A = this chain, B = another copy of it.
Amino acid sequence: MRVICSSAGFAGATLLGEVRKGGVPPSEGGMKCRKCGGRAAIELRRHNAAFCADDFLEFFQKQTLEAIRKWKMFSREDPVLIAVSGGKDSLALWDVLLQEEYETTGLYLDLGIFDYSKVSKAKCEAFALDRGAKLVIVPVEEEVGASIPSVKQVTHRPTCSACGLSKRYLLNKVARERGCAVVVTGHNLDDEAATLLGSVLHWQTEAMARQAPVLPVTHEMLVKRVKPLFRLTERETATYAFLRGIDYVVEECPFSTDAVSLFYKELLNQLEERSPGSKHNFYLGFLDRARPAFEKLDSVPLTACLRCGQTTTGEICAFCRLADSVKRKLSAVSHQPSAPGTEQ
């Protein structure tokens, strides 16, 4: 674990140049800002509005702070742990929280995914250094026993499943260790709508009952989890990051290229293109009118894992079982004499 503290200045033109490669072009032609009447930098069709750069930044910040306030996510006094991946969403969110002087600690989970992890870690480090923010880096390999790409090779568990499990577990663990009452993640409207679409297509009603901008504490070992960007789209967070000169990793995780979540996002983009506001209506309408119907379904009771003390529905939690499995397999491999032709 490593903590970086610095008070270096805000990243400027160079970073903007880098982000421009994959970022969203801010100019949309001759439209006018809804607020000041100046030249608009971004059109928000779903709001039937356009904003200049400054007013868009204010809009974005207001939406985020309003979500935190309205959903009682946390106060300025609460020490919060913000999960940062090096992507636009988590860094944009951290940027808003830092400007508003929330008490944040960034957590970067180093998944060990080749160059993708190296680059994204460097972006988080540079971001924290520039802003004098506190960043904790946890190599997942130290906790699980193997890097995320190696987990599949030794356990045959799907990569994204092992990764998601490890992230959820470690976020909670690190938050508790550091005395943070809240874990903040950068999930945006596109993420939430895609997750919901996946649940709806299979009517996974338990998952639907659990999906919300605030996941309350249902066990003493669990830390509250909140998603302040749930009303802002991927395009909006990209624009915010671009306009604020945030240098983020543009590439998606190499394991996600065929992920069904990206396919759902593509379907939702087709809907949004045909009918602006579709994602918003789908997710916000769910929270408002449908989720209560599923909440009533019985939830499985949680107990403490006999091994690590974090929550589980059985005796040993899924993370401990994963780590055990990795250790067993790696130990078996290291004790096996290498035979030619048996490599995979």
Point out residues on A near B: beta carbons under 8 Å.
200-203, 205, 260, 263, 267, 270-271, 274-275, 278, 281-282, 285-286, 288-290, 293-294, 296-297
Q: Note all chain B residues with C-beta closer than 8 A to A289.
A: 203, 205
Q: Note all chain B residues with C-beta closer than 8 A to A294.
A: 290, 293
A279 to chain B, nearest CB (A): 9
Q: Note all chain B residues with C-beta closer than 8 A to A201.
A: 271, 278, 281-282
Cα-based distance from A294 to B205 in the complex (angstroms):
12
The 4 A-B pairs at the shortest CB distance, nearest first, are namely: A203-B285, A293-B293, A203-B289, A203-B290
Whether A290 contacts B205 by the Cβ 8 Å rule is yes
Cα-based distance from A260 to B270 in the complex (angstroms):
12
A281: which of B202, B275, B296 is its contact (CB, 8 Å)? B202
Name which of A201, A263, A281, A286 has the most chain B CB atoms within 10 A of its CB.
Answer: A201
A288: which of B203, B274, B278 is its contact (CB, 8 Å)? B203
Whether B281 contacts A271 by the Cβ 8 Å rule is no
A286 to chain B, nearest CB (A): 6
Whether A203 contacts B286 by the Cβ 8 Å rule is yes
Q: Note all chain B residues with C-beta closer than 8 A to A290.
A: 203, 205, 294
Q: Note all chain B residues with C-beta closer than 8 A to A200.
A: 200, 282
Subset of 27 A-B contacts with CB under 8 Å: A200-B200, A200-B282, A201-B271, A201-B278, A201-B281, A201-B282, A202-B281, A202-B285, A203-B281, A203-B282, A203-B285, A203-B286, A203-B288, A203-B289, A203-B290, A205-B289, A205-B290, A205-B293, A260-B274, A260-B275, A263-B274, A267-B267, A267-B271, A290-B294, A293-B293, A293-B294, A293-B296
Q: Which of chain B's residues has its CB closest to A292's CB?
A: B293
Whether B267 contacts A270 by the Cβ 8 Å rule is yes
Q: Note all chain B residues with C-beta closer than 8 A to A282.
A: 200-203
Q: Note all chain B residues with C-beta closer than 8 A to A202.
A: 281-282, 285
Cα-based distance from A267 to B201 in the complex (angstroms):
12
A274 to chain B, nearest CB (A): 6
Cα-based distance from A290 to B296 in the complex (angstroms):
12
Q: Note all chain B residues with C-beta closer than 8 A to A288.
A: 203
Cα-based distance from A296 to B293 in the complex (angstroms):
9
A271 to chain B, nearest CB (A): 7
Q: Note all chain B residues with C-beta closer than 8 A to A296.
A: 293
Q: A205-B293, A293-B296 are in contact. List 7 more A-B contacts (CB 8 A).
A: A201-B271, A201-B282, A202-B285, A203-B290, A263-B274, A267-B271, A293-B294
Cα-based distance from A278 to B203 in the complex (angstroms):
11
Q: Which of chain B's residues has its CB closest to A293's CB?
A: B293
A280 to chain B, nearest CB (A): 11
Q: Which of chain B's residues has its CB closest to A201's CB?
A: B282
Q: Note all chain B residues with C-beta closer than 8 A to A203.
A: 281-282, 285-286, 288-290
Cα-based distance from A42 to B95 in the complex (angstroms):
56
